[in-house]
Structure 1
Amino acid sequence: MRKVNRKSIYCLSAAAVALLIGGSATAATAYKTISVDVDGNKQTVQGFELGTVADLLKKQGIQVGKDDLVQPTVTKELTDGTQILVKHAKAIVIQDGTKDPVSVHTLADTVADVLKELQITLNEADKLSLTATTSIESGQTIAITRRTQEVKVAEEVVPFQTERQPDAEQYTGTENVLTPGVEGKVQITTTVYYENGEAVDRKEDRKTTAEPVNQVVGFGTKQRPIVVASRSGENMQASKMMTMAASAYSMPGSRTATGGAAGQGTIAVDPSVIPLGTRLYIEGYGYGVASDVGGAIKGNRIDLHFDSQAAALQFGRRTVQVYVLN
């Protein structure tokens, strides 16, 4: 029977114990706890030799695309305590005004974030189909209505009115502009509102910039003098002309209502129509003075005195034009 060296056995046992203890330390170091966050859904993965980020995602059945966010990078070797973040891009459609719709994949969380990411600027008047704080979901369409406005300014003339007033210094039939008329002006501001290039509303604002000034016209009330031409060629002015019925009579030497003797030029009148003492001119007779009255002389009627009965009979009765001389 072979003799065993006790010293050798002791060394072997010590080596074996050392091997066991070293192996246990290596195994403990290889065991890892990994945190995985996929679109906000968190889980913990534990194990040995888990490899890289890509290896773990594949083992867990987590698919990622070129537009998705993975942190750390997929080639990163896993160590204990590694935290993996996966954020899948969402497919949405952007409809900006009249432009063609554009499909995009985005990692943005809200509508405002998407616009900032795509460098889309909104004017104050533009409208969004979703509020800026709306969370992004796959399949959404963000429509932007572009609102613009066009302002036009025009001027409108306001015609003046004409006032007429009597003017005793002017003859009848004449007019004179006392105050020239001035047209007024109104400024019209028209604002047309457009949505995506189409007019949807309009607003008109009218502002008077100058009030019109009425024109004042004076019309004459003064009677125009009447020029009377006698048979002698002398022209005299008459202030009034009347059409009257005339009768002839002859009573030489008789006394008139004014106390004078009747003769050629004595005219009997109705004093309520022609005052006594008025100088007259009668066509077909000549000049005379209203100096007598008669019981049958009423209204537009006169009697003309002739120096002879024959002349009176020849004149007879007729309608004449009677001029009241100035």
Structure 2
Amino acid sequence: MESDRGSARFCPRSGPFGPVERVGVSGKRRLETGASPERRGGRRARGRGTRAAKRPDSVVRRLLPQALVVAFLAGGTTSFVAQDRAIRLDVDGRPRALHTFADDVDALLAEEGVRVGEHDLVAPAPDTPLAGGDAIAVRYGRPVRLTLDGRRHQVWTTAQTVDGALRELGVRAEGAYLSASRSQSIGRAGLALDVRTERAVTVMADGRARTLRTNAATVGEAVAEAGITLGPDDTLSAPADSFPRDGQTVTVTRVTGGQEVREEEIPFRTERTYDPTLLKGTEVVTRPGRPGLRRITYLLRTVDGVRQEPRRAGTEVVRRPRRQVVKVGTKAAPRSVAGTDALDWHGLAACESGGDPHAVDSSGTYGGLYQFDARTWHSLGGTGLPQDASESEQTYRAKKLYARRGESPWPHCGERLHG
């Protein structure tokens, strides 16, 4: 073998831990493989004792760090694998599989950015610990503006269809009216739903009772479904726009109406003025009065065939009345005419007019107690008509007439003057 100063030569020899690496004087590394037997033997003998004493501590020092690293890595890997959980998460009907290190349901939802509110459903509960293979379901709440048989409610449901919401809310909708299809989906914004369940309603009309099952929205609709036609003036025992309740009885009252126009006289007023030229007790109509005329409209009403009292609805004045003017005498009347006081004037009056100072014969020509005609009356100083004069004046004028013509003005009753 060349000296240490020569170049190193590699031989296929190794020690117990592999080839022995040497560094020569030249500074180059080489493997010692070919020393002389003496050198080898002596060096080997000296080295054996040294290596035998030093080998255990050296090996421990070399292998312990490596073993610790391997143990740490092995333990960490086992822990890492143990904490990674396979979970199935279903959010509002959209399932997905995922792996998570979250400890419970709430942490998982936060990790996945799933926010839930007071009306949302989470199963299992948010504080439930997680284990591999768990299934988590989240159902969002949806607002439903429910009108059930006329009553309004604000409710929440996690169902995604109208049919599911009805079942979840416990609404029995067999035979009911629904404002939306059962299969209609309910979005996160919710919907308005009108539900009218089937009810028994009895309608009384025209002496008959009709009972029907209906989901009508109003009493008026239920009456129409019963086949009853209402007249323009007919009435119902319940408001037509009210909601019909189960077991309710609605009575129809048949009302017919009309109107009638009647004409009525408006009486005139009488104005009296005093006249000193007329005998006391004498009244003379200087301007006859004329009654007015009014038209009155009455509303006629018949309820279930019974005629009601007409109700006055309006009045129209067709013609205004004209007042009557009468002169009233204030002059003292003479009490007698010579030669006539002893005659029976009461008997004559009874025969001529039945004793009525205002009597008028059927022809309208003669009037008063003694049946004067107007011409004779005026010739005796009378004014107006004899039947309008007082009894005393009429008797006075009759006495004057007798003084002129005797009994002849009374051909049938004149003899009564003599009893």
What TM-score range do you get, normalising by the shorter chain? 0.3 to 0.5
- Who wins on radius of gyration, i.e. which is larger? 2
Task: Answer 1 or 2: which has greater strand percent.
Answer: 1
Task: Answer 1 or 2: which has greater helix percent.
Answer: 2
TM-score by length of 1: 0.44
Higher RCO, Cα 8 Å, sep 6+:
1
